[in-house]
Structures are given as structure tokens and as C-alpha cells.
Amino acid sequence: MPNLYEPVQPHWFFCRLVEGREIWLPFSNYDSANLEEVYNSGNDPESVVVSTAGGRYDVYLYDREMKAVYWEEEDSEVRRCSWFYKGDADSRFVPYSEDFSEKLEAEYRKAVSSNQWHRRLEFPGGETIVMHNPKVIVQFQHSAIPEEWGSPQDGQARPGVVKRGIDDHDDIPDGEVPQADHLVFMVHGIGPVCDLRFRSIVECVDDFRTVSLKLLQSHFKKSVDEGKVRRVEFLPVHWHGALHGDATGVDRHIKKITLPSIGRLRHFTNETLLDILFYNSPTYCQTIVDKVSLEVNRLYELFMSRNPDFTGRVSVAGHSLGSLILFDILSNQTDITNNFPETRESNEAGLPQEDLPCLQEALESLTLAEYTSVLEKEKMDMESLLMCTIDDLKEMGIPLGPRKKIAKYVEELSARQAEKKILTDKRNLHNKQEESPPFDVHDGLEPPSRKLPVGASVSSIHVDYEHFETGTGQVSVRYNSLDFEPVNFFALGSPIGMFLTVRGVDRIEENYRLPTCKGFFNIYHPLDPVAYRLEPMILPDLDLKPLLVPHHKGRKRLHLELKESLSRMGSDLKHGVMSSLRLAWQTLNEFARAHTSSSQLQAELEKVADQIKEEEDKQQVEAEKLEGSESWREEELSVKIGMLNGGRRIDYVLQEKPIESFNEYLFALQSHLCYWESEDTALLILKEIYKSLNVFPDLTLH
């Protein structure tokens, strides 16, 4: 009696380039089932687009391509896979093409139906398949078939394992539901890569998202099962490309003046450390701020258009220099419920308000009226024209000559608007009585300003520097308004405190807060050389340790507990020795008094006894302090630290790993890049996000 044939259950895969090799990776179980359902629905494949990976990628079924939604990325090939090939014991399984898989499935069906095995199948491409039985199928292949996700063979025929379908789906992630509870934008720091594996911000945020999904399943499982918690969407914000490459031409100029020696180190410096100078540069600071704010607004608008039912809130997170950029942007926001705040303030100050000319009038004044239709086709008006770069004009097809004229006009008009705003701010500084200044700037003193011309070329601009009473001050830039009010701002490995100090700010007023953001969390690793604290700038007279972030497994790391236990043991031992010494001295003192009449000797004995008693009391105080040195004790949690985080604590320190405590300098750089894969960091962020929903981790943390 012939065996019964059971159709194979296909699974969808996509191809990703990893370290120069093509790796085939499976879609999640949720996405694969959704793709299979749409594939079998009978809809026109040319018009079918399936959203995957929580909405971050779209799969075009007809073209078998996957495209990124929120960022630029190479398109990935997609396959509906049922048969796989494995070259040797160490390689991964590689899916065959869909056509080849259909041929193999047809031959397999014949073998099962007729119960005839040990079949040798020859294919036109040179592949030979031998089906010994349903469980043992091998192939002899040539270099035409990829080895380990696509790297070519050496041309020798060799046997390989052939697999039909996927036996175990446990190794494949379940996937993400489309709906998100919260949206977080993550801004990277210096350089094009974000960790020691030279990965981009997209890959690092993917890791952080994966960590958060695992924590939701382990720490919020009850809330997930009850439907109170779904997921948090993390989207990367990339700004490095706005400075480098062909965007500004600065790389070409830097390359000309770079010395030829130690080339790799100089290339690293040009790619990474120069970003810090760029942010303090009068020429490029505005470029960075514009790129970050406009990119965040673009991502937010795109996310809302693709998720019209989203009712959650939004937070922002920044790593290293990215946190400083976000801090400056958030510090210069105004309440988005008040329309045109700058216009309103200018009118209250009694200053004339200069109206922007319409787009057609501006082009006519430049004798470029023929390009009006080109700009109007792109939905451009004067406000959007002021935000355009010369590269934007080039993409619209405007020739070089008119492009230069428009760029020059935009720069001059922007400079006039900036000068008018400075005059408005000076006037408002005297009239403002409702709120205290953000930082320790004395009322009634106008910060001096000066203009610094930077040449006379078309790309040159006039920059005004705003100075505090002391210090070097910072570059004056125009800040765009965000299209949302963030709930929380998470700063990871942040140098904000150091930059504020260098700018001349030695104190943050207790009543200062970010205008549109209530929460602010400064999270750092204790060995991070770039991270600085903020609480001492608010309460400089209070010696308060940062809050220790609990381990995600609900305890303090073992080596830290051991260190505290040894310290406590040493203190107790020292205290016991001092007590015994005092008792012995008292006995000796009483014996001496009973056998001598010298008042001078008795005075000396009493003096020594008092010193012993004083030392013993000191040891008792130290022991009590050590006994209550737990960083998460109630009195530290209840301390009110200004209004920057709504009165709550601001500085949060991660727990170092045992191996990191042996050599702090060896792990310094790694500590600055550890946040993307840190479960403790991700759990703290999730706890604060879901706190407003009264959802807490199921695992009690100590």
C-alpha cells in the first residue's frame, strides 16, 4: 500500500548581506503566515504589498522584493521556500529557488506515492539529487549552487544534505504584532557606526528592539497575555550622512589637508571625532540640528500615516552626542498648542514683523520666474524654501546658475530673520517675568553678541554667538519645532553635563524643565568615559549617589553584593577590635588609678581612653552608613531633584559586569557602546514607558 503524501508547509525567507556574504534569514512565524495567506488569496500579485517586521518593511509579492519603509537600505530578495540545501556540518541551510523547489516536490510526491526510493535525479544545472528515503536525501553539486548562503564552491562535486520543509519553528521568532503602544526615536552619536562590530544605527536599534521584545515576554508576560501590553516601536534617526559624503563636500576638503601617515587612525578621526567639532562649528551645527529635527518629523509623519489607529505617546532617546543634540532641540521647543509663538512674542515686544514674500514674488525679484512651476510642483512655499539646501534644488532639476542665486537669496533672507529674532529675544529678556531663565543667567543682563563673518562665498553664512555671563558660549542656531510632545527623553552615555559646563553653565535652576517633555533620564555605564552626571548641576550642595539600575533578573550582580559584604565584614571586624581595645584600656586605666596617686598619669590615661572612644564612635557611624548604602533605598528615591524630570531622580547608573571590574581602562570604549544590547537599559525604558499605563514588570526587582 503506497504511503500517503502530505504537502510541504512552505516558509518565507529574505536575503540579507551580512559581512559581505548573502545570508538567507526566515521571516517570523507571524509574517510568514501572513505572507502565505496573502499569496493564496488569489489577489493580483502585481498590486499586493504586505507589511512585515512590525511595519518597518514592505514585501512586494510580484517582484519578490522587500523594501525598507523608514530608512534607505538595499532591497532584499524574498522567496517562498520549501526545500533547502546544506553543504557541510558547519554551514547554514540555503533555500532553493521556487522553481527548483517545485521540481523537487513533484519528484518527492512521485516517490512517496509509488514507494520507490533510491532515485537518482539529474537536473539541467548539473545538480544530482539522490532520494534514499523520506528522511535521507542528498545532493552532489557544482559551484552553480551556493554554499553557505551564497559563497561559491571550489568547483568540486561534493555530497550535501537536502532538507524538505522546516521541522522546528521554535528557532524562528514569533514576530511582532502590527499595533504598537509607544514610539521611540533613537538618535546615534558620532561616526557612521554605533558599536565595536562596526554596525550601523539601523542594526543596533534592531538589536535594542529585539532585547525589548524578549523583556516584554519575560517581565510583562501577564500584561501581554491580558492584552494590556503589545510592543514598543523603536525607530533609528540617522544624521551622520548629512555632513559626510557628497552632502556638504567637507570630506573632500578634510582629505586634502589630512597627513598621509597613520592613515587608518586619521580616517577614524575624520569619520568620528570630527563630528564633535562639527556640532560646535558655526557652519555645520545648523546642518546637524536641521537634519535631526526634520528627520524625526519625517519619521513621525510617515509612522502616523501608516498607523492611523495609533493612540500611544512618543519618546526620544539619544546616544552620546545624539543625546546632546536632542537636549538642545528639546530645550528650544515651544508649546505646540500655541500657534506661531515667535510672531506672537514679536508683536508683544512692539517690534515690526517682516512678512515673508510669496514664492512667485521672490523668484521674480531674482529674474527666475520660469522656475515657479518647478517649485510649486514640489508643493514648495517660502517657508519650505528657507529650509531647502542646494542639493534639494539640484534634485528638482534647477540648473547651477539659478541654483546659486536662490541659495544666496535664501541665506540672506534667513540671516535677516535671525537678526530680527535676536533683537526680539533681547527685548523680551527685559520684559519676561513669568518664568525663570533655563540656566543660571542673571536677570537684567543682556548676553553680548557679535557677528562672525565666514568669508564671502555663496556657501558662507553670518553666525551670531550667544554668550552666557561667563564661558565661551555656544553657536546660535535656529531650532525647528517637533510635530509632537515627547513624554520622556532617555540620554544614554551622555556628555550633556560636560557640554553645558564648557558653555559656561555651572548651575541648572531647580524650576527649569524641558518645555514640551516631562521626563528626562540620564542613563550611563560607570566606566563610560563620555558620560557625565546632571544632578550635581541642579543640587550642587547635596552629595547624592546616582540610582543603581536593577539587574534585569531581579537582583544585584553577584560581584557587587560580594564587594559590599566584604566591606561590611571588614567594618564589623574593625569595630569589634576597637571595642575590645577600649575595654582592655578601661581595665588597665582602673588598675593604674588604684595603684598610683599621680594626677598627670591619670590625665594621660583618660586622654588615651577618650581617643579610643572617639575612634570607636567613628567606626560605628561608618558601619551604619554602609548598612544603609543601598542605592535604591527610599530616602534617595524620595529626594526631589528639580523639575527636569518632574522632581524625580535623573541620574541612573548601570551595574558593571564582573570582568569589567578587573580592568576599567580595558573596557572603557566598550562601556560607551554597551547600551544597544543592555537588558538593564531596555527594561528601565520599558518600565518608564508603561508606568503611565499602570503596567509593571511581573518580576519583582530589588
Active site residues: 320
Helix or strand holding residue 58 (H, E):
strand 57-60
Q: Give 249's contacts (C-beta < 8 A, 6+ positions apart).
A: none
CA–CA gap between residue 50 and residue 409 (Å, rounded): 45
| CB-CB contact of 183 with 237 (8 Å) | no
Q: What is the DSSP string of 408-424?
A: HHHHHHHHHHHHHHHHH
- Identify the three-state secondary structure at position 305: helix
Measuring CA to CA, which residue among 276, 301, 279, 274 is closest to residue 290? Answer: 279
List the beta bridge partners of residue 474.
466
What are the residue ranges of helices labelled H in 366-523? 372-377, 382-386, 390-395, 400-431, 496-502
Q: Is 54 exposed, middle or buried (0-12, 13-18, 19+ CB in 10 A)?
A: buried
Query: What nine digits make up the cell of 382?
Result: 517660502
Separation CA 297–CA 304 (nearest Å)? 11
Compute the Cα dihedral for 671, 673, 679, 684 and give only its sign: positive
- The one-letter code for the residue type at 385 is L
**Cα(85)–Cα(153) distance, integer angstroms:** 13
**Phi-psi label, residue 431: left if phi above 0, alpha if psi -120 to 50, beta otherwise:** alpha
Q: List the one residue out of 337, 340, 333, 426 whose CA is nearest residue 383.
A: 340
H/E run at residue 653? strand 651-653
Query: Exposed/middle/buried for 636, CB within 10 Å: 0-12, 13-18, 19+?
Result: middle
Phi-psi region of 281 (alpha: psi -120 to 50; beta: other; left: phi over 0): beta
d(CA 650, CA 636): 12
> What is the distance of C-alpha 430 from the center of its chain?
39
C-alpha cell at 547: 540610582
- Torsion on CA atoms 293, 297, 298, 302, rounded to nearest 10: 160
Cα–Cα distance list, 101 to 7, 64, 82, 97, 116 (Å): 12, 16, 6, 6, 20
Q: How far is residue 429's CA from residue 448's CA, in Å, rounded to a whole number?
A: 13
The C-alpha angle with vertex 614 and arms to 609 and 616, in degrees rounded to 5, equals 95
Asked if residue 692 lies in contact with residue 487, where contact means CB atoms within 8 angstroms, the answer is: yes
Q: Would you say 519 and 646 are in contact if contact means Cβ atoms under 8 Å apart?
A: yes
Q: Are strands 462-466 and 449-453 parallel, antiparallel or unpaired?
A: antiparallel
Q: Do residues 275 and 242 touch, judged by C-beta distance below 8 A?
A: no
Place of cell 548629512: 242
- CB 81 within 8 Å of CB 14: no
